[in-house]
Amino acid sequence: MSQSSSPSASVAAAAAPIDPAVVAKVRAAAEAGDARAAYELGMAYANGEGVQLDYVEASRWIRQAAEAGLALAQRTLAWLYSNGLGVEADDGKAVHWYLAAAEQGDPRDQHFAATIYRYGRYDVAKDPERMLHWYSLSANQGFAPAQCELGQLLLKGKYVARDDQLAFQWLSLAVVNGSRTAPKWLRELSERMDPDLLHQAKKAMLTQAAEQDS
């Protein structure tokens, strides 16, 4: 029941009704306990695809998938609770499900968990230790936004002891992994670093890259 990422294909898919037999097959699998099918059925209700638009029914099926441990469903259910769609808005439940998704190991969810504790979102108390925990897990999986955030924190000495060499490493990795903001911070850091320390940092990065390729 997924659609192509192609714009033209998406328009065509939107114009054509979904075969009721497909909906029936997905529903049968969901009722049998298939978490992925339950999520797909929930999203069908959320988007009005093949069934009547119904956020309450959507939340019911998405919750079934979330409770079965599907991270995508947990993330989506958290969003429903944060926006009050199909369920009563509840920041506590939103946080619960966002963190449940992060526990599954997806670096994007881990990064979002870090922002919750960094900025105190959803009435959660700010917690630098938990923030750094989630940023580190995400960054170590190569997620550029988390690598950039860690680099900035180390550069500024915010929440952690200032460490220019480690900041250089994280910002360099963020650049390699496609961060658009990391180059600015890396230039700023390079301009202020002691030349010998900068040389050491670059050498360490080259050595690490060589070890990974060997």
Exposure letters 169-203 (e unless 16+ CB within 10 A, then b): bbbbbbbebebebbeebbeebbeebeeeebeebee
Could you report the average pLDDT of every consecutive run of 10 residues in the chain (214 residues)?
40 53 92 96 94 96 97 97 97 97 97 97 95 97 97 94 93 95 94 84 70 55
Measured CA to CA, the distance from residue 212 to residue 214 in angstroms comes to 6
Measured CA to CA, the distance from residue 175 to residue 189 in angstroms comes to 13
pLDDT of residue 213: 55
Measured CA to CA, the distance from residue 151 to residue 210 in angstroms comes to 22
Domains and CATH numbers, the chain: 1-88 (1.25.40.10)
Measured CA to CA, the distance from residue 55 to residue 47 in angstroms comes to 9
